[in-house]
Amino acid sequence: MGAGASDRRLRTGASALVGAAFTGATLLASLGAGPATAAGPAPAPSPAQLGHQLVRDPVPRVDVHARTAAADRALVRRAPYPLADTFALHSLPGSAHTILLDFNGDDVSGTAWNAPDLGLPDGRYRGWSLDGDPAFSDVERAAVQDIWQRVAEDFAPFDVDVTTQDPGPDVLDRSSPDDPTYGTRAVITSSQAAARAICPDGCSGMAFFDVMDLAVDHAAYQPSWVFSDMVGNDLKDIAEVVSHEVGHNVGLLHDGTTTQEYSFGQGSWAPIMGGGFSRPIVQWSRGAYAGANNPQDDLALIAANGAPLRADEAGDTTAGAGPMPAGPAYITSDADTDVWSLGACSGWVHVAARPAPRSPNLDILLRLLEPDGTIVASANPPSREVTRDRATGMGAWLTLRLPPGRYDVSVEGVGHGGALHAYDGYGSVGAYTVRASGCAASLRR
């Protein structure tokens, strides 16, 4: 069902996601008429033009864990940034491509959402709130940071800025095929009015399909919607819905099986475009899991439809090893290996590579190398599910005694258990930090 870049046609995609399962109405992606070519707001599409149909997904719910005062205090304590900076977070400032996580609400008027068949009245729709107060409490600010971290990790391999700071229409809207600056807006909302209008049968998210890099009437197909109440305001689940809906914006269809529209995963793993609420490792997919019905190459399609891959920061071999990074580095594909120079080492040496702190996608294989590429030691602890929101074994470390010499360290993404039983290395991409002691890591080769 994918469309070529030269003949992209408007389709719609929607997700009905509740708790750790899907329920209610689902707006299926299907071919329809292309967007209008005239300037200004898009004409109201008819149901025939949108080509959609509604179906139900009667699958079991699971209980959403209730929030507690202790959990809220812990959330505030672990907020990685000052709470005052919550609405100025950027994963890649300066990128020409943007994913805005809009927790403040949006004025949605004159768009395809407001057309008679979708039925959203023109107007401003409230943002996200746990307590009904439009002002953001410390708990809510910490929660926004948590959600942002998770979504930023899903899109970490790409040249796209996941941000909580509204950059304005000039940055988000695309005016023509020659306009290189554009993005998409995901509205995380507590608005029951929006949810009832868009999803009268109940859903937790909905988005237009393949519109992030749309060159005509771009603003008419914004925003995508995330209805937080439908997932019990669970932070992991909200983030899963955001990435899933933005996935529709960049041309991804649902990852299902031969018997169900959504795959809920296997072992500790699930696909982002399926239903990953009950799994701690949720990654982009190419449909290699057991019973997969969608062979889309998610990483390639995201890169082709609005968010190209990041530039590689390090060489793949010892000949191109770079100086140790001071901050996060990134694995962008299963073919990407980052090699870093440790410089001169002697005696006890400790090297550790850690993935992103919230919902990491990257399962790390760490190797210590001699200058000719000979492997001195390697570490790849097996991943293990602890809770639906935490897996161990995603990072790796080495502690060993070395004879004097120069050494390098390599980082790459790997799988565990294979694609048919757990996951392979395809979606093991994302951010990591690497640190070493016992070596002159500041030296240059």
Tens of pLDDT, residue by residue over 233-255, are 999 999 999 999 999 999 999 99
Contact in structure between 281 and 269 (CB atoms under 8 Å):
yes
Cα angle 26, 29, 31 (rounded to 5 degrees) comes to 145
pLDDT at residue 121 in the model = 96
Residue 20 has pLDDT above 90, yes or no: no
List the domain boundaries for the chain.
5-304, 318-439
Helix and strand numbers (H, E) in the chain are 7, 23
pLDDT at residue 94 in the model = 96
| Whole-model pTM over 0.85 | yes
Confidence of residue 65 (pLDDT cuts 50, 70, 90): low
- pLDDT-wise least confident of 30-39, 241-250, 379-388: 30-39
Distance of CA 318 to the CA centre of its chain: 31
Q: Which H or E run includes 364?
A: strand 364-369
The torsion defined by the Cα of 73, 77, 83 and 89, in degrees rounded to 10, comes to -120
pLDDT at residue 25 in the model = 28
Tens of pLDDT, residue by residue over 307-331, are 999 999 999 999 999 999 999 999 9
Contact in structure between 240 and 273 (CB atoms under 8 Å):
no
Tens of pLDDT, residue by residue over 165-182, are 999 999 999 999 999 999
What amino acid is encoded at 142 in this protein? A
Contact in structure between 243 and 250 (CB atoms under 8 Å):
no
Dig out the tokens for 102 from the structure.
Answer: 């809009």
Average pLDDT of the chain to the nearest whole number: 85
What is the Cβ-side half-sphere exposure of residue 376, based on CA atoms within 13 angstroms?
A: 20
DSSP state of 406: E
- What distance in Å separates the CA atoms of residue 11 and residue 28, rounded to the nearest whole number? 9
Burial level of 232, CB count in 10 A (0-12/13-18/19+)? middle
Please name the fold of domain 318-439.
Jelly Rolls (2.60.120)
